[in-house]
Every structure is written in structure tokens, then in C-alpha cells.
């Protein structure tokens, strides 16, 4: 009888271990690297944009350079509030630059995570983090992705890990907050961007026309639970 009980207990313990292993395999990791900026290949996943596409005079670059902790990406340039002579565009606002990831091959699923983390070295300016999700809010016929934005405020001149809860991202439409109760679908992320404006942002941060420089090591998704 004791032998049967021993075999039974061994079977139960083996089943429990198998279930535990399966759960561990199914459980997403505590963090997931979404983007790194340690090689020129990494930078090929991004493209730049600025008001120069609409007659403005701002400019931006994205490159990899040696830093204290190895190779890092550097997003830099100059913000101008001027508009080129003879521009055919009627701009409401100039003085902006950004770097946007190219379209993913499918989607990135951030549903298991609750926070985006950025390892950055700033210049005192306020930057904007944007998450683009599959279009399901806009009216039919509008092909633009849904955009969700949050400010990134950094201490000047030091490496810093900025953590932004996904719940802090607000829905926006062409830079303006959408006055509606909307929720992001984090399982259908199609891209991300980092941008900077000459004006606006968080009070107390550097603003106005002039040079900007943001060093970037990585962007990760974190799961606190």
C-alpha cells in the first residue's frame, strides 16, 4: 500500500513540476527590449522628420557614436521657428523634429507590459514619446495610425532611465489631446517615435529655437507585476 502511495505522490509531484515549467514558459519576461541603438543596423529601423517637409528650417540627424558605456544613438539637430521664403505650405507651427520607427512587420504586443523605459541622456529639453497603434478609433477612410503621447523629462547631462506607464499615454490627433475616454490597445503597436518642439512641453524645461541633443541607449517594455 505504501508503495502505491509513493508512486501516486511521485506522479502528482511530477505533474506539478511540469505545470510549473509550462507556466514559466508561458509567462512573458519581466522586460523586453523593443529598440537598441548600438549599431548602424539599429538605426536603419528609424527615419527622421521635421518641419522642413512643410517649409520650415529645422533639421535633425540620427547617428551612432562612442559614449562612456559603448556605442549609443544620438538624435540631434537644430530647431528653427522660421519658415523658408516662398513656402507653399501654410504652417500653423514650425520648430519641430522627430525620429519615427519604420513600420513593424506585423505588430509588437505590449499587452503583457505596463511601462515603457528609456535609457537617455538629455539636454534639458522636454521630449515627446509617441506610441502608434493600429487605426480603430478614427473614422473609416482615415488611414493614419492612432497616436498616444507622453512627455519625457530628463535631468540635464546625465544618463537616466525614464519610466512611463502605458496608462499615462494620452490619445492625440495631430498633436492635440483628444477629449474623449479612449483606451490604448497595447497588443497592436505598429510603431514609436521620439520628438522635440521648440515651444511647449513641461514648464521649467529648456525651450525655444536652437540646438538639441538626445543620446539614446535603449527602449524597453517592463512588467511590474
Domain segments of the chain as ranges: 31-222
pLDDT single digits (tens) 86-122:
665 565 667 999 999 997 778 899 999 999 999 999 9
Q: What is the band of 83 on the pLDDT scale with cuts at 50, 70, 90?
A: confident
Cell of 94: 514650425
Structure confidence at residue 215 (pLDDT) = 95
- The C-alpha atoms of residue 218 and residue 119 are separated, in whole angstroms, by 6
- The C-alpha atoms of residue 106 and residue 190 are separated, in whole angstroms, by 7
Map residue 70 onto helix, strand or coil: strand
Beta bridge partners, 170, equal 149
* CATH class held by domain 31-222: mainly beta
Give residues with Cβ within 8 angstroms of 177, minimum separation 6: 170, 171
Map residue 160 onto helix, strand or coil: strand
* Residue 79, CA atoms < 13 Å, CB-side half-sphere: 23
Q: Pick from 10-19, 48-57, 141-150, 214-223 the range whose average pLDDT is largest.
A: 214-223
Do residues 207 and 125 lie in contact, with contact meaning Cβ atoms separated by under 8 Å?
yes
> What pTM was computed for the model?
0.81
Structure confidence at residue 89 (pLDDT) = 55
pLDDT single digits (tens) 155-192:
888 899 999 999 999 998 877 788 767 889 899 999 99
Neighbours of 72 (CB within 10 A): 22
Q: Tell me which of 4 and 69 has the higher pLDDT.
A: 69
Amino acid at each position: 500500500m505504501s508503495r502505491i502511495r509513493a508512486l501516486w505522490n511521485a506522479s502528482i509531484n511530477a505533474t506539478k513540476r511540469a505545470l510549473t515549467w509550462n507556466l514559466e514558459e508561458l509567462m512573458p519576461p519581466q522586460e523586453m527590449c523593443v529598440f537598441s541603438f548600438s549599431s548602424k543596423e539599429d538605426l536603419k529601423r528609424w527615419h527622421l522628420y521635421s518641419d522642413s517637409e512643410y517649409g520650415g528650417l529645422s533639421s535633425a540627424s540620427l547617428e551612432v557614436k562612442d559614449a562612456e558605456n559603448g556605442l549609443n544613438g544620438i538624435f540631434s539637430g537644430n530647431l528653427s521657428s522660421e519658415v523658408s521664403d516662398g513656402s507653399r505650405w501654410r504652417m500653423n507651427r514650425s520648430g519641430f523634429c522627430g525620429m519615427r520607427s519604420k513600420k513593424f512587420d506585423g505588430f509588437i504586443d505590449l499587452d503583457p507590459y505596463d511601462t515603457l523605459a528609456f535609457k537617455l541622456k538629455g539636454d534639458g529639453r522636454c521630449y515627446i514619446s509617441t506610441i502608434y497603434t493600429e487605426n480603430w478609433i478614427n473614422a473609416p477612410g482615415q488611414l493614419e495610425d492612432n497616436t498616444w503621447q507622453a512627455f519625457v523629462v530628463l535631468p540635464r547631462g546625465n544618463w537616466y532611465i525614464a519610466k512611463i506607464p502605458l496608462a499615462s499615454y494620452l490619445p492625440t490627433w495631430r498633436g492635440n489631446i483628444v477629449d474623449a475616454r479612449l483606451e490604448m490597445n497595447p497588443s497592436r503597436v505598429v510603431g514609436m517615435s521620439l520628438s522635440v518642439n521648440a515651444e511647449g512641453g513641461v514648464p521649467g524645461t529648456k525651450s525655444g529655437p536652437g540646438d538639441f541633443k538626445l543620446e539614446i541607449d535603449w527602449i524597453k517594455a517592463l512588467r511590474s507585476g
